[in-house]
Structure 1
Amino acid sequence: MRAGKVAGVQLILNNWFLLLMALFAAAGMLGKALVVFGSVLWHETAHALVAHQLGYRVREIELLPFGGVARIDRLGEAAASELWIAAAGPLSSLIMAGLLAMGRTAWPAWSEELTFCLHVNLTLAAFNLLPALPLDGGRIFRALLSRGRDYGQATAVVVRLGNLISLGLLAAVAFDYLVHQSINLTFLIAAVFLYAAAKAEASVVSFRIMRVLAGKKAELTARRVMPTVHFTAVAGAAARDVVRQFGPEQYHIVLIVDDNFRLRGALTETEVWEALPEHGLYAKIGDFLP
């Protein structure tokens, strides 16, 4: 359900969210539920505002039964930008928690309500800082890893870490059941969600890498200037090993040398990209030379 726009960004209320609100209302807990999702909206709006300031288009913010998501075009295609956008959410929740802590002192009559809201924001910040995709902590960790390795490898590392966190949550659920004969539904849902989300990230990473590389040609055409990195490859190297060296933040020039390290020629990143459909990832990079 579309619920209007906030600062030009479409706000969507997921159908399951509306059902959950109805259930909370029936149980007499609608007020607390609105506090939770108000905190989520504050968290996601922080992502959107920082993304907008960095020049990204924020399409919509959707509130889900157990959180929210800000849909930002091209998020993840630049390591530095993704780091700041991802960090904005947990930071905003921590700032809100600090304000609420001061509010408890200023308005002691509202201590119980403010304490609940404080705990919600602290929990939201802590959960989102877990190093698992698509949580903010996973995006921050991937952005940091992308500074020293390619985007695909960085994503693979964080996906594996997310799977380990999912297994840890499932182990906690099993332990709780065996010891206390109760099921921790929060941990169970979080484990399933993180596993499914990590699997989805792994399935689209190749497409996202190709989109990053293709987009650089248009960006260079528009900006006319872009930071450039040169590196050298032996003519017999596989094209896939060359493509793995391409990062999202710079344009790349590949110097091709023979086995005696004599220069055979040079290829721009765009030339490598445009020749890939013809030669394939396993062809020798020397075959890409005109």
Structure 2
Amino acid sequence: MPDKKVRKGERLRFFVHPLFLLFGAYFAATGKLFLFLNCTVVALLHECGHAFAAAKIGYRLNRIVLMPYGALVKGDIDGVSLKDEIFIALAGPLVNAACAVLFVALWWCFPDTYPYTDVAAYSSAAIALVNLIPAWPLDGGRILYCAIAKAKGEKLAGRIARGAGLFFGIVLFAMFVYGCFVQVNFTMLFFSLFLLAGAVGGKNCSYDRIRYDYAKEMRRGMEIKRVAVGKDCKIKRLLSFMERGKYLEITVYDEDGRFFGEITQGELVKILETAELYAPVGEFVQEY
């Protein structure tokens, strides 16, 4: 998530994490500097794909940070809908896949270019496939999270996506340990630690969803989500209807199915400041 609001027209900027330089020094010492530089360029193209996709739907990703495990893009995507987040997450792997296909087409037309582009082609294909692994925080994990969240809610989606990340992280770490008896693969170690850190770290997004300020999103335009409930419906149940990127409006009906009142998401947030989670919504509709 972004550290600050992105100003209109602000250009994409690049930053280098100190550990990235150490990682590069390791590859240089092992005679794999060209592979490291190649993968760095491919990772940058991947993140630019995310940035351009976000810009297309009205969001701004303005910072790319080179990290030991690749690159990380940051910017202003507060309140992005689950559907749009899937679109942004898919853009990175699709850019890499398109590059890989382009190189294959180049080999078909100009076979002599193969020795000069094979590493770039294989790296592009590998990064595209790896990022589609359904493990948080990879793009595939984000897509899995959003797909489940749309159907079952963000709480369950978070558990499944992080659980998948933990599973793949443990498997890769076990493969690294096993490989130590044959040939040490530090890339496998770094990647497994990245997945494990992503699976067990991070904050609970449900708190952001409850306390979120929609003023900035209103300027972009938001889809309204309408839900009908009975006046005996519990406040806790209303929380499950809240969806990122959408503004909730709740219509309340009495036992006879007659209109009783309405509550907007802003009003629901105020109710949550003092209400018991198991209190019926009908007690608060009359106050508005």
Question: Shorter-chain TM-score: what band?
Answer: 0.7 to 0.9
Correspondence for 1:129: 132
Note if 1:13 corresponds to 2:16. Answer: yes
Note if 1:145 corresponds to 2:148. Answer: yes
1:1-290 map, 5 Å? 8-74=11-77, 77-176=80-179, 180-201=181-202, 203-210=203-210, 213-215=212-214, 219-220=217-218, 222=219, 226-258=222-254, 263-289=259-285, 290=287
- Is the contact made by 2:61 and 2:77 (CA closer than 8 Å) also made in structure 1? no
Q: Name the TM-score, length of structure 1 as normaliser.
A: 0.83
Aligned residue identity for 2:213: A
Per-residue CA deviation, residues 110-146 of structure 1 (Å, 9 max, x unaligned), is 4233111111111111110011122111122222223
Aligned residue identity for 1:205: C
The 3-state SS of whatever aligns with 1:246 is coil
Aligned residue identity for 1:197: G
The 3-state SS of whatever aligns with 2:124 is helix
Per-residue CA deviation, residues 63-95 of structure 1 (Å, 9 max, x unaligned), is 112211111322673112111111110000011
The 3-state SS of whatever aligns with 2:213 is helix
Mark the CA change 1:187 to 1:75 in structure 2 (over 3 Å): closer, same or farther: farther
RMSD: 2.7
Mark the CA change 1:174 to 1:288 in structure 2 (over 3 Å): closer, same or farther: farther
Question: What fraction of aligned residue pairs are identical, expressed as a percent?
Answer: 27
Query: What is the distance in 1 between the residues matched to 2:124 and 2:150?
Result: 30
The 3-state SS of whatever aligns with 1:253 is strand
Shift of residue 184, structure 1, vs aligned partner: 4.1
Query: What is the distance in 2 between the residues matched to 1:137 and 1:75?
Result: 20
Correspondence for 1:3: none
Shift of residue 281, structure 1, vs aligned partner: 3.7
Per-residue CA deviation, residues 21-40 of structure 1 (Å, 9 max, x unaligned), is 33434444332221110111
Q: Name the TM-score, length of structure 2 as normaliser.
A: 0.84
Q: Identify the structure with bigger relative contact order (alpha carbons < 8 Å, sequence gap 6+).
A: 2
Per-residue CA deviation, residues 223-266 of structure 1 (Å, 9 max, x unaligned), is 6x754333233434332221111122433222334556554422
- Is the contact made by 2:135 and 2:161 (CA closer than 8 Å) also made in structure 1? yes
Aligned residue identity for 1:206: S
Query: What is the distance in 2 between the residues matched to 1:185 and 1:282?
Result: 51
- Is the contact made by 1:103 and 1:114 (CA closer than 8 Å) also made in structure 2? no
Query: What is the distance in 2 between the residues matched to 1:123 and 1:109?
Result: 23
Correspondence for 2:5: none
The 3-state SS of whatever aligns with 1:252 is strand
Mark the CA change 1:219 to 1:75 in structure 2 (over 3 Å): closer, same or farther: closer
Mark the CA change 1:187 to 1:26 in structure 2 (over 3 Å): closer, same or farther: closer
